[in-house]
Chains A and B, each alone.
Chain A
Amino acid sequence: MQEYYISKYIDLGGLKMYDYNPYVQDYAFPSLKLAQAYVPLQKYVSLYPPEEAIKKGTVFPELDMPYVGEKMR
């Protein structure tokens, strides 16, 4: 099974593949590289009990990541 979905690698500094594309040139910052994004495929581990899940906003403990607004200590 495929583990990761990796986005198209776009490196405007070095890659000539996109040079012909006039739209890409509008975004090109030759000195900067674009980020490479990926999303790991979720695995089925365990579930919160329903009464807890609805309060947390997810049934999956590994997706329970409340936004704190500051660095976690």
Chain B
Amino acid sequence: MDGNQISMLKKIMEIEFTCIDLNLYLDTHPEDQKALQDYNYYSNQLSMLKQQYEQFYGPLMVFGHSQSQYPWKWVDDPWPWEIEY
């Protein structure tokens, strides 16, 4: 697993965490425009990062989220718990 793959995964986890926390804030403050704006910004970043990652390293989630290149990429190593960050 190369260093670029690991740093992309870390970046994805960081942005995803920020999205989740903003998600929770917005649940109780649905009319907060600034928060919504930030949420949309990070959400958009997250989906771009995931798309980029999947182009290089295969799907992050299976069916319904993204397609696979040939050959089938889902079963490729390493499994999530085998990654050393």
Q: Which residues of A contact B (CB under 8 A)?
A: 41-42, 44, 47, 50-51, 53-54, 58-60
Contacts and interface: CB of A to CB of B under 8 A. Distances in A.
Contact of B38 (A42, A47, A51, A58): A47
A50 B25 contact: no
B14 A59 contact: no
Interface stretch (B28-36, B51-59, B74-82): B28-36
A44 B35 contact: yes
Interface of B: 13-15, 17-18, 21-22, 25, 28-29, 32, 34-35, 38, 42
Contacts of B14: 50-51, 53-54
A interface majority secondary structure: loop
Contacts of A47: 18, 22, 38
A59 B17 CA distance: 8
A49 B29 CA distance: 21
Contacts of A59: 17-18, 21-22
Contacts of B42: 50
10 contacts: A41-B28, A42-B25, A42-B28, A44-B29, A47-B18, A47-B38, A50-B14, A50-B17, A53-B21, A59-B22
B74 to A, nearest CB: 26
Given A44-B32, A44-B34, A44-B35, A54 B17 contact: yes
Contacts of A44: 25, 29, 32, 34-35
